[in-house]
Chains A and B, each alone.
Chain A
Amino acid sequence: MRGVGHARWAVCAAAAVLATAGCGGGGGSGGGDAGAVLSSSWGDPQNPLEPANTNEVQGGKVLDMIFRGLKKYDPETGEAQNMLAEKIETSDSQNFTVTVKDGWTFSNGEKVTAQSFVDAWNYGASLKNNQRNAYFFAYIDGYDKVHPESGEQSADTLSGLKVTGPLTFTVKLSQKFSTFPDTLGYPAFAPLPRAFFDDHDAWLKKPVGNGPYMVDNYTRGSQMSLRKWEEYPGPDKAQNGGVDLKVYTDNNTAYTDLMAGNLDLVDDIPAAQLKNVKSDLGDRYINTPAGIIQTIAFPFYDNDWSKPGSEKVRKGLSMAIDRKQITDTIFQQTRTPATDWTSPVLGEDGGYKAGLCGKWCEFNPDEAKKLIEEGGGLPGGQVKITYNADTGSHKQWVDAVCNSINNALDNDRACVGNPVGTFADFRNQITDQKMSGPFRAGWQMDYPLIQNFLQPLYYTGASSNDGKWSNEKFDDLVDRANAETDTAKAIDLFQQAEEVLRDEMGAIPLWYQNGSAGYSQRLSDVELNPFSVPVYNEIKVG
């Protein structure tokens, strides 16, 4: 890689002397140059960059470029396809045998073996390593020893993982989970090289992975330069010479920089610019569905919201919200009104069912009013929708939702927004179960499975069940779906569970969020994957 870089430099220098032709961006000139580097906006990752420690988009973006796991989600369909996995076999949905493909290496030359996976997963699960995504390994047998809910851990490795050969290992789960192999495309399951364990600090300064790119230079908080790894053995080689991820203090500035021609790709169009973006960029503006849904959750630990008949109030509130108008005017169609609790990126086969919510998600002020009265009226005569005011322009839509509810109920004081200063404080109030009324909730999928949209959010005691909703019938259907080996049947069971959720209106679905991006004239083949992250390796420059 280095050699090529040098050669190109020499050619450029010669060209510059001969014809004063510019060789910008460390590449050459000409159409679709495979050596040219593009620049892209970035945000400072919140946590140290480790696969099992990264739970937000910015860090995930990098992991997606420098790592390949057993599976990879198709950028277009979201389907989990084998990447490093030769095969993953099971007969009982609980014991899996994984065979890793031969011939893969990390960019430092180390071979990717079964051990690379097992070591990485053990590291990720172990309590003493403080990994934010440790719960991803919770299904694996022995997790409760490695990561007890309180007290010291009594084991360092997961008993459910066994290396059976250089390229094979077995996974034993603590319960049946038929779609487990499909979760393995999540970055937390990436393999790690020995270098990670031998010199952890050095690795964090310059991560080494097995993906199509390698980290060339990383200045924390300001820029990461990724370059194409020429010897990358996978089928999805980088179509460009590399990507410079630049940290921006504000996405407005990134957008301005794109307009001025100093930046190639912005993957987060600021809300204020959505009105102009089509005239500014034309075809170079992308607005595609992503696996993100926004909902309004309820505090079911509060008697006002869990007493009999209150489901009518919740349904009434849902029907009082004019989703179409809000998504059109406030979000400029970067959101789509929701009609179920999943996301269109799953596709029909994956469990997305348009209209599952039925009339409860349609705007109908008259019936809304009637239902709320039948249910005993709004608790305390008023609902307060709590949200965090520091990021994500939540204020605008909460105010609009309240406005819609007030109009439907002919009552100016029926609904008000209740802003909380910081996200951390907002999360505090949720964790401490201090919410006295509905609050904003959002879910970005970890993997494109219907299970991921239901179980973590609504299963009794689940990690993101912030409203503490609990329903035996729902839990039972989810359990049965997880145990079902036939995918179609499993999805059908999940949808039945979703219907239980609908009948109780466990949370009000608002809209599906799109990913939006804009790019410069230098680029082509720019797409966003279902996680709303650009598919960097497909982008052509020039």
Chain B
Amino acid sequence: MGRYVVRRLLQMIPVFIGATLLIFLMVNVMGDPIAGLCGDRECDPATAAQLRHEFGLDQPVWQQYATYMGNLFTGDFGTAFNGQPVTELMGTAFPVTIRLTVVAILFEIVVGIVLGVVTGLRRGRPVDTGVLLLTLVVISVPTFVTGLLLQLLLGVKWGWIDPAVSTEAPFRELIVPGLVLASVSLAYVTRLTRTSIAENRRSDYVRTAVAKGLPRHRVITRHLLRNSLIPVVTFIGTDIGALMGGAIVTERIFNIHGVGYQLYQGILRQNTQTVVGFVTVLVLVFLVANLLVDLLYAVLDPRIRYA
């Protein structure tokens, strides 16, 4: 187990370097960001040159990358164009997005798995058909439609929530945005759980457990659910990263100043430091979440062992 973890951590290094290099090159291909800094008017050449020098843009790309990576190990993510250190931007953006992701994941786990278990156990019944239809609708309607609709109905028409999330973004304001963010994944989790449960319901170990006379809830939670969760955990694990990086639409609709917003601004202003910094952290989140998922397998199914 210990060796497995170490090996996995070592594997992360090339992935990390490759991913950051790719992002770095992609942002740089877009051209000189200084051109957009002065608005509809050309920056005067001297100031532009000075700014280029300050942000290190006058060096060849490989050298910029080397400097960037060097600084990264000392915890220096560079400076955004508005003079703010990128770490400061991260310090304000990540907590908000993490809260939003937690809300979304909780929805996925609680609502998704419960619905999945209920429908999986009642296959073909009206409940099952109803939930299947509902998930189909949720999957096929784009997030921004759901988001704008909920915002309009709950926020403006009925006044149950504030349409825009405040700067502090406390948990209670993130419930609706979290639900919107989770909606599509939630539908997938429901369907995955349902299929998995329905499949395993007929397996030998469940029949044995029932034959032993175990109470129904124990059969379901300890035997049926535990074995059915492996594909679901895989999905939710990879979804953590996807939710954090993909919150851009939800964050825009509900005025959440999180990672998605900062990335969007960074790309619009072609701010290499912001974009590369945030993507780097997101890559790390992806890698760690994947590792955790792999480790969870062993907990769920002791037959899975790591060498």
A residues within 8 Å of B by Cβ?
Answer: 44-48, 55-56, 127-128, 130-132, 134-135, 147-150, 204, 219-223, 246-250, 252-254, 256-257, 259-260, 262-263, 390-391, 421-428, 430-431, 441-444, 456, 463-464, 466
Neighbouring A residues of B204 by C-beta, 8 Å: none
Q: Would you call A431 and B41 a contact (CB within 8 A)?
A: no
B36 within 8 A of A: yes
Q: Would you call B163 and A222 a contact (CB within 8 A)?
A: no
Neighbouring B residues of A247 by C-beta, 8 Å: 257
- Complex: A249 Cα to B265 Cα, angstroms: 9
A44, A127, A260, A456 pick with most chain B CB within 10 angstroms: A260
Q: Would you call B82 and A130 a contact (CB within 8 A)?
A: no
Neighbouring B residues of A46 by C-beta, 8 Å: 37, 81-82, 269
Q: Would you call B35 and A428 a contact (CB within 8 A)?
A: yes
Q: Would you call B42 and A428 a contact (CB within 8 A)?
A: no
Given contacts A257-B255, A423-B268, A424-B32, contact A222 B42 (CB under 8 A): no
The one of B35, B255, B267 in contact with A427, judged by C-beta atoms closer than 8 angstroms, is B35
B32, B44, B51 pick with most chain A CB within 10 angstroms: B44
B252 within 8 A of A: yes
* Residue in A closest to B96 when the chains form the complex, CB atoms: A222
Q: Would you call A421 and B30 a contact (CB within 8 A)?
A: yes
Neighbouring B residues of A463 by C-beta, 8 Å: 41-42, 44
Q: Would you call B40 and A441 a contact (CB within 8 A)?
A: yes
B156 within 8 A of A: yes
Distance of A105 from chain B, by nearest CB (Å): 27
- Complex: A384 Cα to B155 Cα, angstroms: 43
Q: Would you call A55 and B38 a contact (CB within 8 A)?
A: yes
Given contacts A46-B82, A260-B162, A443-B40, contact A249 B30 (CB under 8 A): no
Q: Would you call A256 and B151 a contact (CB within 8 A)?
A: yes
Neighbouring B residues of A219 by C-beta, 8 Å: 92, 167
Q: Would you call A130 and B156 a contact (CB within 8 A)?
A: no
The one of B44, B51, B152, B255 in contact with A248, judged by C-beta atoms closer than 8 angstroms, is B255
The one of A204, A262, A456, A464 in contact with B164, judged by C-beta atoms closer than 8 angstroms, is A262
Report the 8 A-B pairs with minimum CB-CB distance, sorted nearest first.
Answer: A424-B36, A427-B35, A48-B83, A424-B270, A222-B167, A428-B31, A464-B41, A428-B35
- Complex: A386 Cα to B191 Cα, angstroms: 47
The one of B39, B84, B152, B265 in contact with A56, judged by C-beta atoms closer than 8 angstroms, is B39
Q: Would you call B42 and A464 a contact (CB within 8 A)?
A: yes
Contact with A along B236-271 (1 / 0, CB 8 A): 000000000000000111111100011011011110
The one of B37, B40, B42 in contact with A442, judged by C-beta atoms closer than 8 angstroms, is B40
Distance of B195 from chain A, by nearest CB (Å): 37
Neighbouring B residues of A44 by C-beta, 8 Å: 82, 265
Distance of B263 from chain A, by nearest CB (Å): 12
Q: Would you call B47 and A257 a contact (CB within 8 A)?
A: no
Neighbouring B residues of A426 by C-beta, 8 Å: 36
Q: Would you call A425 and B37 a contact (CB within 8 A)?
A: no
Given contacts A56-B39, A260-B156, contact A390 B268 (CB under 8 A): yes
- Complex: A514 Cα to B84 Cα, angstroms: 33
Distance of A476 from chain B, by nearest CB (Å): 24
A127, A204, A256, A262 pick with most chain B CB within 10 angstroms: A256
B1 within 8 A of A: no
Kindly identify, within residues 187 to 229 of chain B, every residue whose CB is under 8 Å from any CB belonging to chain A.
none
Q: A260-B156, A430-B42 are in contact. List 18 more A-B contacts (CB 8 A).
A: A46-B81, A127-B47, A130-B47, A130-B50, A134-B47, A147-B46, A204-B83, A222-B92, A249-B252, A249-B256, A253-B254, A254-B255, A262-B162, A391-B268, A422-B268, A423-B36, A424-B35, A431-B35
Q: List 21 A-B contacts (CB under 8 A).
A: A46-B269, A55-B41, A132-B37, A220-B84, A221-B84, A249-B251, A249-B264, A250-B252, A250-B253, A253-B254, A257-B162, A257-B163, A257-B164, A260-B156, A390-B268, A422-B36, A424-B37, A425-B270, A427-B38, A430-B35, A444-B40
Given contacts A48-B83, A248-B255, A256-B155, contact A424 B31 (CB under 8 A): yes
Neighbouring A residues of B45 by C-beta, 8 Å: 149-150
A55, A149, A249, A442 pick with most chain B CB within 10 angstroms: A249
Neighbouring A residues of B152 by C-beta, 8 Å: 256
B283 within 8 A of A: no
B43 within 8 A of A: yes
Neighbouring B residues of A390 by C-beta, 8 Å: 268
Q: Would you call A127 and B50 a contact (CB within 8 A)?
A: yes
Q: Would you call A256 and B164 a contact (CB within 8 A)?
A: yes
The one of B42, B46, B54, B92 in contact with A221, judged by C-beta atoms closer than 8 angstroms, is B92
Interface residues on B, range: 35 or more
Neighbouring A residues of B36 by C-beta, 8 Å: 422-428
Distance of A138 from chain B, by nearest CB (Å): 8
B89 within 8 A of A: yes
Q: Would you call A456 and B41 a contact (CB within 8 A)?
A: yes
B18 within 8 A of A: no
Q: Would you call B42 and A47 a contact (CB within 8 A)?
A: no
- Complex: A257 Cα to B163 Cα, angstroms: 6
Distance of A459 from chain B, by nearest CB (Å): 13
B292 within 8 A of A: no
Distance of B142 from chain A, by nearest CB (Å): 16
B304 within 8 A of A: no
Q: Would you call B83 and A132 a contact (CB within 8 A)?
A: no
Neighbouring B residues of A132 by C-beta, 8 Å: 37-38, 43, 47
The one of A147, A149, A422, A456 in contact with B270, judged by C-beta atoms closer than 8 angstroms, is A422
Neighbouring A residues of B47 by C-beta, 8 Å: 127, 130-132, 134, 147
Distance of B14 from chain A, by nearest CB (Å): 30
Distance of B46 from chain A, by nearest CB (Å): 5
* Residue in A closest to B51 when the chains form the complex, CB atoms: A130
- Complex: A527 Cα to B174 Cα, angstroms: 35
Neighbouring B residues of A256 by C-beta, 8 Å: 151-152, 155-156, 163-164
Distance of B214 from chain A, by nearest CB (Å): 52
- Complex: A391 Cα to B265 Cα, angstroms: 12
Distance of A461 from chain B, by nearest CB (Å): 11
* Residue in B closest to A219 when the chains form the complex, CB atoms: B167
- Complex: A132 Cα to B41 Cα, angstroms: 10
Neighbouring A residues of B49 by C-beta, 8 Å: 150
Neighbouring B residues of A430 by C-beta, 8 Å: 35, 42
Q: Would you call A48 and B82 a contact (CB within 8 A)?
A: yes
B130 within 8 A of A: no
Neighbouring B residues of A135 by C-beta, 8 Å: 44
- Complex: A150 Cα to B49 Cα, angstroms: 8
- Complex: A426 Cα to B32 Cα, angstroms: 10
Distance of B281 from chain A, by nearest CB (Å): 17
Given contacts A147-B46, A221-B257, A390-B268, contact A248 B82 (CB under 8 A): no
Neighbouring B residues of A466 by C-beta, 8 Å: 42
Given contacts A130-B50, A132-B47, A249-B257, contact A424 B269 (CB under 8 A): yes
- Complex: A249 Cα to B248 Cα, angstroms: 10
Given contacts A47-B81, A249-B257, contact A428 B268 (CB under 8 A): no
- Complex: A135 Cα to B38 Cα, angstroms: 12
Distance of A391 from chain B, by nearest CB (Å): 7
B231 within 8 A of A: no
Distance of B262 from chain A, by nearest CB (Å): 8
Given contacts A132-B38, A220-B82, A249-B257, contact A428 B164 (CB under 8 A): no
- Complex: A456 Cα to B42 Cα, angstroms: 11
* Residue in B closest to A457 when the chains form the complex, CB atoms: B41
The one of B38, B40, B257, B267 in contact with A222, judged by C-beta atoms closer than 8 angstroms, is B257
B159 within 8 A of A: yes
Contact with A along B82-108 (1 / 0, CB 8 A): 111000110010000000000000000
Kindly identify, within residues 4 to 41 of chain B, every residue whose CB is under 8 Å from any CB belonging to chain A.
30-33, 35-41
Q: Would you call A248 and B164 a contact (CB within 8 A)?
A: yes
